[in-house]
Amino acid sequence: MNTCFDALIVGGGLVGASLALALARQGRQVALIEGQQPPLTGLDRPDDWDPRVYAISPANQAFLQGLHAWPDASRLGVVAGMDVRGDRHGRIAFHAADAGQPALAWIAENRWLLAALWQQLADSPAQCIAGVRPTAISQHPRHVSLTLDDGRSLNTRLLIGADGANSWVRQQTGIRVDVSPYGHSGVVANFVAERDHGNIARQWFLGDGILAWLPLPGQRISMVWSTAKPEALTALDAASLCDTVAQAGGRELGGFSLLTPAHAFPLRLMRPDSVVAPRIALVGDAAHTVHPLAGQGVNLGFGDAHALAALLAEHGGDPGEWLLLRRYQRMRREAVNTMQLTCDGLFKLFHTQDPLLGWLRNTGLSLTQHLPLIKRQLARQAIGF
């Protein structure tokens, strides 16, 4: 008789891997299926900086620290404050100190977090199956069967889709998804700046794009530039890219030298009608995507993983019970909707050509700068309170 797992997770990115680890630590029987080979190496290349970085909120830092998958200070940028500029001299700056905290967020590399999670998984009782993909699902009243492309068949009481924005698991459920492309790509690259960034994350709403410089250790910074013309950046040679990016930020940190070449990721808003189906739950980008202007995509995903793991710990019984899955969906709805609407609203507000809205958005930023109570609230929201 085949083992029936408590939870079978498809997709071992940051969200799936963290959830597998959290459930294994609870004593649940867990299997993790990842289509690629696990990223177990990469922590031993000190000069190699991943262009894909995340601003991790304090709540998720605590979650990752609890899983023993948190990088040391040599690989972490600290965001002590934010300085946001509008396209017509609007400006707002706020600091973690406004919310009585040491940091608004930490900047961590994708590759380091992934390798740390997979190393922890290797020492956990979770069964990790890498380099295979599922080919079919069959749903039964008390379990789900998953067939893999190596011919194996696995049974589980709860199937979790953590397989990213194009989720195969979601497609099998037939859940309808609303997809709105932004017509922009996020171009990411790392640089070493001439001047100290002072642990400040800088963001410019440029009118035709949104540019962010995130602090990394030393004088390094990581750039995310949301633009309709990604090839105008990715096709540049190193010197021209450095010059273009430094110039777009008014040379606030002096000149740049290139640390990691530019890569582009298409951006879209995705909102499935539901994130649960009988004995199936979706987490991370499989359940939602957001514009990266607030750096919250993976934070929402960790929030899903944390919430689902906490619900299963509290419940103890059948992890695929329908009422439990409905509770998970309700628990996450507000945080996800609020973040999607906020990021989408800001993107649209700063891309409209309407002159009145142009004046309003910049005046709004500058007015808020002089309202300490609202600034404190903004700092608290950035932190995730």
To ligand FAD, the closest distance from the beta carbon of 285 in angstroms equals 4
To ligand FAD, the closest distance from the beta carbon of 265 in angstroms equals 3
DSSP 258-327: EEEEEEEEEEEEEEES-SEETTEEE-GGGT-B--GGGS-HHHHHHHHHHHHHHHHHHH-S-TT-HHHHHH
- Paired tokens of 43: 């922590």
Nearer to ligand FAD, 90 or 295 (CB): 295
To ligand FAD, the closest distance from the beta carbon of 358 in angstroms equals 25
Nearer to ligand FAD, 86 or 230 (CB): 230
The dihedral over CA atoms of 335, 337, 340, 341, expressed in degrees to the nearest 10, equals -120
Nearer to ligand FAD, 362 or 382 (CB): 382
Nearer to ligand FAD, 241 or 362 (CB): 241
To ligand FAD, the closest distance from the beta carbon of 382 in angstroms equals 12
To ligand FAD, the closest distance from the beta carbon of 59 in angstroms equals 12
Residue closest to 339 by CA, chosen among 300, 383, 285, 385: 300
Question: Please, what is the angle between helix 14-25 and helix 58-66, to 10°?
Answer: 50
Nearer to ligand FAD, 58 or 164 (CB): 164
Residue 44 identity: D
To ligand FAD, the closest distance from the beta carbon of 51 in angstroms equals 9
Per the CB < 8 A criterion, the answer to whether 20 and 127 are in contact is: no
- What are the C-alpha distances in Å from 31 to residues 22, 216, 217? 12, 34, 36
Binding site for ligand FAD (CB under 6 A): 10-16, 33-36, 54-55, 133-134, 162-164, 168, 186, 188, 224, 265, 284-285, 292, 295-299, 301
To ligand FAD, the closest distance from the beta carbon of 184 in angstroms equals 10
Nearer to ligand FAD, 106 or 358 (CB): 106
**Total residue length of the chain:** 385
Nearer to ligand FAD, 53 or 236 (CB): 53
- Angle at the Cα of 107 (from 268 to 259), degrees rounded to 5? 90
Per the CB < 8 A criterion, the answer to whether 312 and 23 are in contact is: yes
Tell me how far apart the alpha carbons of residues 16 and 20 are, in angstroms, rounded to a whole number: 6
